[in-house]
Amino acid sequence: MGMTETLKALSDPVRRKILDILKEKPLTVGEIASTFDLSDATISHHLSYLKKAGLLERTRNGTFIVYSLNTSLFEDVMSWMINFKKND
């Protein structure tokens, strides 16, 4: 996905909360879902969208899927946004 899709992923408050939660440490789907009053299917949809946008990485640990932040993409987004700062 490109920058448009990444910014669209960041525009959703549930997705931003997921990213905030994952700042602390990688978590399983169940651990992430337990912090919300939403269905597992809804959380899975948001996780899938964040992964497609490149904001999350997913690894398998036995029978569990663990999500973590893709910090390199965050650095790219921040670099792109800094370019809008007006030079004084």
Listed in sequence order, the residues at least 6 apart from 66 whose beta carbon sits closer than 8 Å to its beta carbon are: 26, 27, 28, 58, 59, 60
Q: Domain ranges for the chain, please list them.
A: 3-82
Whole-angstrom CA distances from 53 to 63, 65, 69, 74 are: 24, 18, 12, 11
Residue type, 25: K
Give the pLDDT of residue 48.
94
* Average pLDDT of the residues of the chain: 87
Q: Convert the pLDDT of each residue in 10-43 to its tens digit.
A: 889 999 999 999 999 999 999 999 999 999 899 9
Q: How far apart are CA 22 and CA 25, in angstroms?
A: 5
Q: Which residues, in sequence order, are bridge partners of residue 66? A: 28, 59
Q: Which class would CATH give 3-82?
A: mainly alpha
Chain segment 31-77, per-residue pLDDT in tens = 999 999 999 899 999 999 999 988 999 999 899 999 999 887 667 77
